[in-house]
Amino acid sequence: MQSRQGTPFQSLSSVWRTLRSMRMALILLLVVALASVAGSLVPQIPNSPQRVAAVYRDHPLLARVYESVGLFDVYGSWWFTLAYALLLVSLASCLIPRTRGLIRSLRQRPQPARELESLRHFVAATVPGRPEDAIERARRLFRRRWYRVSLGNRNEQGLAAEKGLAREVGSLLFHSAFFLLLVGVVYGKGFGFAGQVTVVEGGVFTEAHANYDVPPVEGRFFSEGMHRGFQVRVRDFDVRYRRSGLPRDFVSRVDVREGARTVRTDEIRVNDPLVHDGVKLYQSGYGWAPIIEVRQDGRLLAGGPVVFVTDGSQDQRRAWRGVVKLPSIRPQVGLEFRLLPDPESFVLGAPMLEARNPFLGFTAYRGDLRLTAAQNVFTLDKRGLQVWEEGGIGLGQRAVLPDGLEISFPELRQYTQFRVARDPGTGIVLVAALLVLVGLIPALYSSRRKLWVRAVPDGDGTLVQLGGVALQRRAAFEEEFRALARELVGVARVTERR
Amino acid sequence: MSLTRVSNFAFGLALVLYVVAMVAYFHHLAFRRGRVWAVASGLAYAGVAAHLVSVVARGVAADRVPWGNMYEYSSMVGLLVVAGYLVVERVAKVRSLGGFALGAAVLAMAGATMVYVTPGPLVPALNSYWIRIHVVAAMTGSSLFILGFVFTALFLVQDRKERREAARVEAEPAPALAAVGSGGGLPHDLATSPDEPADRADLEPRRGWLPTAAVLDRLAYRTVAFGFPVWTFAVIAGAIWAEQAWGRYWGWDPKEVWSFITWVVFAAYLHARATVGWRGRRAAVI
Ligand code: HEM
């Protein structure tokens, strides 16, 4: 009976012991790291469902394998959560006893030792004077060298001294700060979100779930109601270039509005985000957004800025592409545009950095847009379409197509893209990271050492015994010990044991 | 452009000097000629000087700090490895390791030439003072880790040899020496430990070609213990920059992953060293 009760208990306690070992903590840390790597390589359901679907379509077997081990949703998978939780428990379980131990040794005075002769460093000599004087001299000497000193009891002249608790304190600070860092990461991810948004000059973005380019990645404890709802109106956007054609600086000038009130006006640049209500907006991209109007017999079918993209975002020598879909007329029409912001430079093969006589070329297709299938706003699905008309217009011009269709290009604007993120854990993580660093220095560079002195009457004088040990940096301590011995008892026979 | 030329020329000169110094160091290791060591060391200093010229000229040519891309980064790491080694040589009076340290530097520089880019400005996202701080710290940290790694690898070689010798001595009827080697059988705390006094300020007590395993082990530990906080700082500075530029302090891109893994591995090394007193061998395997 007893053995049957004992076994599960024993195995439980051995699990516990394993968990408390730091090797386990380091292994768990690596597991978490590798899992995160996997999470960044394999598409994740929460952030890119289409790409996950693509894996299912193109590599069904692989997808099944991924799915079975939860690789499509690493951060939500049970094993990731488990590893992270175990890591936290493991760290906490070695922090608590160490903290207790540290507090105990901080409270306690250095403890007396019995046999100084057997210590690693030892010296003995007879000096003139009374034992009390020798002890007093030792106390002052050690004090001067920042040791904590405690005198022995009445009937024996002796003292104990130690130094280097900073090492323990630092080490503990390091480990606790690391724990705090892990907590801060979870907290920030859990209650935060991150998304991407494109806003054309003059346009307004309202911070809400539905208004992102793709659904934002939201933490597990984040609910839609936690979006802040403020508005960002982009007044204008500017890029400045170097002579080589590489961008030097991007600036978006924005108004932030709460309700109808403009609460601030600010600039957003690379490396200089806007922070409002705990949400940060980072300048992340830009491009051209011509305003294109399409009319049929005077009736407006489509009008407004169209976001254009370029293949190879750094290369301003290429034309920009954009698409307008007209599903409401029969047969359906799709328009594919090519924008040259600066045709003259284009012809010369130079980068088109500014708009000068912009030119909009188009190809019109007719047929079925296949809007029932998954859509990409930047391309046409040409499987149901035939080329119908081609042409091009400059700024302020219009082109007339058959069937009473008319395309005009009244204005060229730019759009800007922001990465929008909220991570309430950032502050915690930053503080924790700095504490990690602060704790590391004493933990690595200071060392603990202990000294004991005993003085007994010896004829007219006093026999002084000095013993010491160092837990780290023994070579340095040996020199220190010699110096102490010289000051306390004059040069004498120093024994070193190893 | 002519500054670029100067920089490239000085780079090549430094590389040649390092290679010759490396050969001389190995010669010294094998034959122990003091004069050869002096030559080797002198060459290494000259190499550092040329290398400095190269780096500075590069910085002036590009009108920015000279560590903006992989070429410049590798070059700087090479420079810091050699400079770091020369400091170790001065402080610890260890002369025989130069060949290995220079070898590592030469590899870093050879790697640099493979990723050569003409000097030019950075994309705006890289234009932040955090990146400068980050890169300086990362270069220092990785140089120290490279040195630590070299010392550790040599330690393993030497340790195995010593243990074999110790075993041989033990087998013979004079066991007195056995304990001196690498703590054969003694509790670790009493056996040779990181700061073993026997090898203090060492005038190179040696076993064969290399300094004793204990010296190597201590050097490795010191270098890593110095490199670790520097690396930690580098990672933090990088995270701050990433937070500023992209709105996330950590995104598991390959660089971040590797810096993190490096960090954990060296943390494990320090653990093994600091706590269990597993000196050297097992820790080194890590
Ligand atoms: C179960 C968990 C852990 C335990 C019990 C533990 C325990 C210890 C102990 C006792 C020391 C030696 C302190 C000294 O030399 O006075 C130490 C050092 C160290 N630990 Fe841990 N540790 C754990 C987890 C970790 C983790 C997860 C990391 C991070 C990667 C880490 C990084 C370090 C580093 C860098 C040192 C050397 C600096 C220092 O002395 O503080 N440890 N650890």
A305-322: pLDDT as tens digits:
888 888 765 667 788 889
Query: Cβ contacts (< 8 Å) between A30 and chain B: which residues?
Result: 261, 264
Amino acid identity, position A219: G
Check if B63 contacts A (Cβ < 8 Å): no
Nearest CA to ligand 1 atom 19: B271
Average of pLDDT values for A267-285?
A: 84
Q: Are B84 and B149 in contact (CB under 8 A)?
A: no
B128-134 long-range contacts, Cβ below 8 Å, gap at least 24? B128/A271, B128/B241, B128/B244, B128/B245, B130/B237, B130/B238, B130/B240, B130/B241, B130/B244, B131/B241, B132/B65, B132/B67, B133/B237, B134/B234, B134/B237, B134/B238, B134/B240, B134/B241
- Spatial neighbors of B109 by CB under 8 A, at least 6 apart, are B11, B14, B15, B18, B74, B75, B78
Write down the pLDDT at residue B246. 67
Average of pLDDT values for B60-77?
A: 71
Put simply, the answer to whether A270 touches B248 (Cβ < 8 Å) is no
Q: Is the pLDDT of residue B137 over 50?
A: yes
Give the pLDDT confidence of A330-346 residue by residue, as tens digits: 888 899 999 988 888 88
Amino acid identity, position A305: P
Query: Cβ contacts (< 8 Å) between A474 and chain B: which residues?
Result: 193-197
Put simply, the answer to whether B225 touches A445 (Cβ < 8 Å) is yes
Check if B185 contacts A (Cβ < 8 Å): no
Question: Rounded to an integer, what distance in angstroms lies between the CA atom of residue B141 and that of residue B145?
Answer: 6
Strands A494-496 and A148-151: unpaired
- For residue A432, with 0-12 CB atoms within 10 Å meaning exposed, 13-18 middle and 19 or more buried, which class applies? buried
The percent of residues in chain B predicted with pLDDT above 70, rounded, is: 53
**Among candidate residues B237, B20, B254, the one with its CA nearest the CA of residue B135:** B237
Minimum-distance CB partner of A271 among B127, B192, B270: B127
A39 → chain B, closest CA residue: B252
**Among candidate residues B283, B258, B284, B266, the one with its CA nearest the CA of residue B227:** B266
Task: Give A465's Cβ-side CA count (13 Å radius).
Answer: 20
Give the pLDDT confidence of A45-65 residue by residue, as tens digits: 666 666 777 777 777 777 777
Chain mean position to CA B273: 18
Put simply, the answer to whether A440 touches B228 (Cβ < 8 Å) is yes
Average of pLDDT values for A351-379?
A: 82
Check if B133 contacts A (Cβ < 8 Å): no
Helix A474-489 with A131-144: angle, nearest 10 deg: 140
Question: Rounded to an integer, what distance in angstroms lies between the CA atom of residue A279 and that of residue A256?
Answer: 12
Check if A437 contacts B (Cβ < 8 Å): yes
Write down the pLDDT at residue A64. 78
Interface test with A, best of B122, B128, B243 (most A CBs within 10 A): B243
Mean pLDDT over all residues of chain B?
66
ipTM above 0.90 for this complex:
no
Q: Is the pLDDT of residue B36 over 70?
A: yes
Check if A267 contacts B (Cβ < 8 Å): no
Residue B286 confidence class, pLDDT cut points 50, 70, 90: very low
Write down the pLDDT at residue A291. 92
Q: Are A113 and A121 in contact (CB under 8 A)?
A: no
Give the pLDDT confidence of A127-155 residue by residue, as tens digits: 888 888 888 888 888 888 878 888 766 55
Highest-pLDDT range among A438-447, B213-222, B244-253: A438-447
* Choice from A16, A20, A22 to test ligand 1 binding pocket (greatest atom count within 8 A of CB): A22
Q: Residue A422 belongs to what H/E stretch?
A: strand A405-422
Question: Rounded to an integer, what distance in angstroms lies between the CA atom of residue A92 and that of residue A201?
Answer: 51
Write down the pLDDT at residue B201. 34
Cα of A443 from ligand 1 centre, angstroms: 9
Number of neighbours of residue B160 by Cβ within 10 angstroms: 13
Q: Are A189 and A429 in contact (CB under 8 A)?
A: no
Our CA-based measurement puts residue A141 at a distance from the nearest CA of chain B, in whole angstroms, of 24
The percent of residues in chain A predicted with pLDDT above 70, rounded, is: 87
Q: Residue B263 belongs to what H/E stretch?
A: helix B254-271
Torsion of CA A255, A260, A263, A268, to 10 degrees: -20
Query: Cβ contacts (< 8 Å) between B191 and chain A: which residues?
Result: 498
Write down the pLDDT at residue A495. 63
Give the pLDDT confidence of A400-425 residue by residue, as tens digits: 888 888 999 999 998 888 888 888 88
Minimum-distance CB partner of A36 among B120, B252, B268: B252
* Choice from A95, A171, A448 to test ligand 1 binding pocket (greatest atom count within 8 A of CB): A171
Put simply, the answer to whether B239 touches A436 (Cβ < 8 Å) is no
The number of the ligand 1 atom at minimal distance from the alpha carbon of A174 is: 41
Write down the pLDDT at residue A497. 56
Check if B244 contacts A (Cβ < 8 Å): yes
Cα of B274 from ligand 1 centre, angstroms: 8
Give the pLDDT confidence of B186-223 residue by residue, as tens digits: 333 333 333 333 333 333 444 445 566 667 777 777 77
pTM check: above 0.80: no
**Among candidate residues B135, B154, B145, the one with its CA nearest the CA of residue B228:** B145
Report residues whose beta carbon is within 6 angstroms of any ligand 1 atom: A 20, 22, 25-26, 29, 90-91, 94, 167-168, 171, 174-175, 178, 443-444; B 264, 267, 270-271, 274-275
Mean pLDDT over all residues of chain A?
80
A36 → chain B, closest CA residue: B252
Strands A405-422 and A449-458: unpaired
Question: Rounded to an integer, what distance in angstroms lies between the CA atom of residue B45 and that of residue B9?
Answer: 17
Q: Are B36 and B42 in contact (CB under 8 A)?
A: no
Between B211 and B242, the more confident residue is B242
Number of neighbours of residue A118 by Cβ within 10 angstroms: 11
Task: Give B29's Cβ-side CA count (13 Å radius).
Answer: 17
Our CA-based measurement puts residue A373 at a distance from the nearest CA of chain B, in whole angstroms, of 33
Cα of B36 from ligand 1 centre, angstroms: 43
Question: Rounded to an integer, what distance in angstroms lies between the CA atom of residue A177 and that of residue A434?
Answer: 8
Chain mean position to CA B250: 27
Q: Are A116 and A122 in contact (CB under 8 A)?
A: yes
Q: Is the pLDDT of residue B172 over 60?
A: no
Write down the pLDDT at residue B207. 43
